[in-house]
Each structure stands twice: as structure tokens, then as C-alpha cells.
Amino acid sequence: MSFTLHGIPVSRGIAIGRAYLIAPAALDVDHYLIEPAQIESEIERFRAAQQLVHHELDALRADLAADAPSEMGAFINVHSMILNDAMLVQETIDLIRTRRYNVEWALMEQVERLSRHFDDIEDEYLRERKADIEQVVERVLKALAGASGALVDGAHGACDEMIVVAHDIAPADMMQFKTQTFQGFVTDLGGRTSHTAIVARSLGIPAAVGVQHASALICQDDLIIVDGDHGIVIVDPAPIVLEEYSYRQSEEALEQRKLQRFKFSPTQTLCGTRIELCANIELPEDARAAVDSGAMGVGLFRTEFLFMNHKHSLPEEEEQFAAYRRAVELMNGMPVTIRTIDVGADKPLDSMSGGDGYETAANPALGLRAIRWSLSEPHMFLTQLRAILRASVFGKVKILIPMLAHAQEIDQTLDLIREAKCQLDDAGIGYDPNVQVGAMIEIPAAAIALPLFLKRLDFLSIGTNDLIQYTLAIDRADNSVAHLYDPLHPAVLHLIAFTLREAKRAGVPVSVCGEMAGDPALTGLLLGMGLTEFSMHPSQLLVVKQEVLRSHLKTLEKPVADVLASFEPEEVQAALQRVAQV
Ligand code: PEP
Ligand code: MG
């Protein structure tokens, strides 16, 4: 039976394919009592699954790339040990024998007992082993269900005709998809600028998030259409609908090919103003896509994704340095703006848990996030700063600091950058002494108190995703308030316009690197407000460039002034339409 689901469009285009459901195994387990005669065969089922996971871990160990971080091998060893541990194995078997729980139930019960026990442990390192146990149990449960332990396993039929359907995907898990080919994504949760959505967009494939109950209503292998332009998911479409969407898909592919003709032309408006279009990246290798798209540099390297795949510790200086150097070398002399770690809120790190109250923070988006966390961990922060500074020898590097609001935070940060330089001097290690330091303007207080920033920093970058979140007091990752997430709210537009105007007046370069920069419907508006530097995901670059090439700054002045003078939503929309028509 055909039916349609509605969600939030996050990555443009049309995808047609079969549903590939990713369910967290732990949420799905059956609970039932077995007959006494089934006890031994149930234990046998457990042993077989345990064996299978052993083979999986051995295969993972054997497949580790030579340059894989050394911790990877250690994690796999820890997981193998847990898989044999009596606390897990013997106790689970006892539950099967004494209570006659099916094995999945027994495992979940035992994990809960262990979790309670672990929560009481003082030692942070030991407490972190809880996550390892949960991951091992997850693997065993998947083995019992006949699925693979990996989130995505190419060997189990994932292929380029598949559309991933999940309740939610953590940003770190999303990174797995960078090496897999899928047609599209659908998730039950998420907002337009949640980090999961941003990574989905960075993969350049159609996606819809906040499609409530999608993972419950869509079955494995269902034929589905994802309309990433409108956030619509059509399940089991009628032939005529399928035909219509196939047609639209081929039209879009044609459109994309046509955009390629702009790739090598200079980016300037009809009146001759040069506009700089840069790329946002999450991993060093993404720099290739940046170069391919014709970007003039990297305007935002979200380094936290390097940290997120480190389950129990943060990467050492050498590993970070190698990653930053790689991105800088791939950009071949073009500037690379490296943002210091921005973790917290919807991008927690495993190593943040415990001790510091992060996990128990009532509102992590307002808590120890981004620079606040870095300043609370000066050792970690200095390590990152040294690694970034060292990479500056290999090209043009800029340092960008997220979430600054207070003068003393800026001063403390600049002091630490000076200290990192002194440490490198003492060790006789080279760096660019003139490396520029900039701030993200993403908290309303920062925009309003702009002189604090203009006086202290070399450049600014407006992070519209967070600026909208904090101006309108809505969680950008929460789909229940997604309808209130409005880039065109007059308060947001005024903060952006004010920042652009004041920075220009002070002669401080300013860019926009939030998702607004990559939305072609807003290009004219931003140009009219005076923006000359945009940074966006590479997949958006050519479509934004097309808008720049057809714009004339003088004719944008009046309609953009009208947008800024409007407060009623209809008036803002009407004025915006006039911006599009000039
Ligand atoms: C932003 O907030 O606009 C931004 C670019 O940073 P992030 O999306 O990583 O928070
Ligand atoms: Mg931000």
C-alpha cells in the first residue's frame, strides 16, 4: 500500500531505492520465557553468537590499515576480552538457566546490572568500560538477529540503490557513510541544521530528517522515494508517481551537469565585485571535493569529527598534525580555516562523559560546549593549537574559535595561542608566526557586543546555524521545534546585517559559514547585506555561484533594505521575492 510521510528537507535532490533499515539492536529485542527443555539450545544459541562476534573482531583486527590509530587495535582487544568475561558470559547463562529468560533478554538484563554497578565506580577509566560492554552486547544481539555488528556492512547487501532509514543517526556514526554509497537518508529525528543533517548534506545525497515514525512504518526493502527538496518520503509509490519522480530525477541530474560550466569562471557579480566562495569540510580528505567544486579555500574545517571517532581518548598531537597538514596540502596554497574543537550539544565526545557533569547537564547546548570546553581542558586545547600551528608551515592556515561571547574568553584563548607558540619555539618547531585568529559569531551576545571582537581578532565568521538557535531559543536538533527555526526571522537578519556592516566599517574580514551561506535562495539577500565571503558545503558551491554571477549589487540595495525594514512574515517574504527578481 502506498503512503507518504512528511519531514524536514535537509539535502536536495530525489532518491529512489530500497529501504535499508538500521535499528539499534538493543531497542528491538524480544523478551520471552523459554521452556526448561530449551535451556541448553538457548545457551548454544548464545555461544554461537559469541563465536560469530569473535570472528568479526578478528576480521576487524586483520583489516586494520597500517596507519590506523594505535588505539583501534587496543579497542578491539578490549572488546574480545569482554566477550569472554565471566561477568558477561557466565551471568547471562545463569539467567537463562535460573530464570528461563531468552538469551536476548538475559543479555539486556545483565548489561543493566553491570551498568548500575559501573555508574557507582569512582575511577573514570573503569567507568568508561561501560560503553565497551554495551558495544560488545550490541554486537552479540545483532549476531543473534542475524545482522552484522557494523552499523553498515557492505557485505550484507548495502549498495548504491539503498536508502538508509533510521530512528536517528549520531553525527559520528554518520561519518561511516562517507565510505559507503547510498542513494539517500531518512531519519525519524533531527532538525534542519542538526549535525547529522549537515553531514548528510556533505555527502551530497537527498535526505529528509524529522520524518516521525519512518523507521517504524517503513519495512526493510520497501521501495521508497525521498524528495529531499520538500522533505517528503513516498513508500511503495504507484507506477505513475514513480515515473514522475524518475523524470524529475533525470532533470536534476541534467541541471547538475549544466552547473559544471561555471566551475572555472571567476566568481563575480554582474557589476564586477569579486566574491569568495569557500568550502566547509569535516575530514581532511573532504578537501578533494572542495578543490573539485572550485572553492577558493576552506572556510570552515570542523575538526571535532576527527575527535568523535576516538572512543576513549583524544587524538595525540602527531595524529592531529598529520590530519591538518593533509587538508592544507590538498588545498595546495589556498587558505584553510581550521576551527578548534566544537564538541558538546549534539556532538558529544565519549571522553567528555563522567566527572565534568557534561552528561548530566540539563541543557548541553547552553553548557560546556566548544571554546568553553576547550578552555576548561587547557592541556587538550594546547595540543590542538600546537598541531594547527605546525600545519601552518605547509600552506595558509587560519585559526577559528567557536562560541566565543565574553572578552575574557577571547583573551584567554589568545593567551593560550601565544603559549602554544612559545612551546613550539622552545622545542625548535616551525610555524607561521602571523597565523590569523578569528572568531565565530554565533551567539547573539557576540554580534551585539561586536566591538569586543573587532578589536581583538583578525577576522570573523558568522555561524548562522547557532546564531539562529540561540537568537530564537530553539534547539536546532529538536524536530518538535523545527518549524520555529527561521533564518528569515527579523531578529536573525538584523544581527547578520549589523555584523556585516560593523565588520566592514572596521576593516575586519567577515564571512558566513552557516547553512544560510549554501542556500541559493538567500544568496542575493546576503550579497545585498554586503557579504563577500561565503563558506558552504562543496555540493552547494556551483548553485550559489550561479546566483552570484547573475546578481548586481546596486539593484539589490533597495529590495534588501526592504527585507530588513520588514517585520511581518508576509512582508519579509514579499520583499525577499523582489530580491530574487532583480
Ligand atoms: C554554525 O553554527 O553556523 C556553524 C557553522 O557551526 P556548526 O554548524 O558546526 O555549529
Ligand atoms: Mg556553530
SS (H, E, C) 98-148: HHCECHHHHHHHHHHHHHHHHHCCCCHHHHHHHHHHHHHHHHHHHHHCCCC
- The band of 33, judged by pLDDT with boundaries at 50, 70 and 90, is confident
**Rounded Cα distance, 192 and 207, in Å:** 10
Q: What is the pLDDT of residue 65?
A: 63
Residue 511 CA, ligand 2 centroid: distance in Å: 14
Specify whether the CB–CB gap between 375 and 412 falls below 8 A.
yes
For residue 466, which atom of ligand 1 is closest to its CA? Answer: 2
At which residue does the C-alpha cell 538457566 appear? 97
| pTM for this predicted structure | 0.74
**Cβ-Cβ contacts under 8 Å for 257 (sequence gap 6 or more):** none
Look over the chain and give the mean of its residue pLDDT values, rounded to a whole number. Answer: 88
Q: In the prediction, which pLDDT does 343 show?
A: 86
pLDDT at 64: 67
Residue 354 binned pLDDT confidence (cut-offs 50, 70, 90): very low
Spatial separation of the C-alpha atoms in residues 192 and 167, rounded to whole Å: 16
Separation of CA 297 and ligand 2 centre (Å): 19
Whose atoms come closest to the Cα of 465: which ligand?
A: 1
pLDDT, position 155: 36
Q: Who wins on pLDDT, 176 or 15?
A: 15
Residue having the nearest C-alpha atom to atom 4 of ligand 1: 463
Is the pLDDT at 546 greater than 90? The verdict is: yes
Ligand 1 atom, smallest distance to 516 CA? 3
Nearest CA to ligand 1 atom 3: 463
pLDDT for position 406? 98
Which of the residue ranges 33-42, 58-67, 188-197 would you say has the lowest mean pLDDT?
A: 58-67
Mean pLDDT of 81-100: 92
User: What distance in angstroms lies between residue 466's CA and the mean position of ligand 1's atoms?
Assistant: 6
All structural domains of the chain: 3-21+161-258 (3.50.30.10), 263-581 (3.20.20.60)
Single out the residue of 233, 261, 207 nearest to residue 537, CA to CA.
207
Q: Is the CB of 465 under 6 A from ligand 1?
A: yes
Cα 309 to middle of ligand 1, angstroms? 19
- Encoded amino acid at 519, one letter: D
**Residue predicted with more confidence, 235 or 128:** 235
Q: Is the CB of 281 under 6 A from ligand 1?
A: no
Lowest mean pLDDT among 93-102, 327-336, 492-501: 93-102
The fraction of the chain above a pLDDT of 90, given in percent, is 63
Q: Which of 342, 531, 534 to mutate to test the pocket of ligand 1 (most atoms within 8 A of CB)?
A: 342
Which distant-in-sequence residues (6+ apart) come within 8 Å of 482 by Cβ?
Answer: 8, 191, 192, 210, 474
Q: Is 342 in the pocket of ligand 1 (CB under 6 A)?
A: yes
Q: Is the CB of 514 under 6 A from ligand 1?
A: yes
302 ligand 1 Cβ < 6 A: yes
Ligand 1 atom with the smallest distance to the CA of 302 is 9
How do residues 446-465 score in pLDDT, each as one tens digit?
999 999 999 999 999 999 99
Whether the CB of 395 sits within 6 Å of ligand 1: no
CB of 110 closer than 6 A to ligand 1?
no
Give the residue numbers marked as catalytic. 195, 513
Q: Is 282 in the pocket of ligand 1 (CB under 6 A)?
A: no
Tell me the residue length of the chain. 582
Q: Which of 358, 366, 342, 348 is closest to 469 using CA atoms?
A: 366
Beta-bridge partners for 3? 235
Number of the ligand 1 atom closest to the C-alpha atom of 462: 3
Q: What percentage of the chain reaches a pLDDT higher than 70? A: 89
463 lines ligand 1 (CB under 6 A): yes
Residue 353 CB contacts under 8 Å (≥ 6 apart), including other chains: 128, 131, 359
Amino acid making up residue 50: Q
How far does the centroid of ligand 1 lie from the alpha carbon of residue 433, in Å? 27
Q: Is the dihedral of CA 563, 569, 574, 580 positive or negative?
A: positive
16 CA distance to ligand 1 centroid (A)?
30
Q: Is residue 464 within 6 Å of ligand 1 at its C-beta?
A: yes
Rounded average pLDDT over 375-395: 97
Ligand 1 atom closest to 370 (CA): 10
Q: What is the mean pLDDT of residues 373-380?
A: 95
Q: From atom 6 of ligand 1, which residue's Cα is the shortest distance away?
A: 463
CA 403 – ligand 2 centroid, Å: 7
335 vs 478, more confident = 335
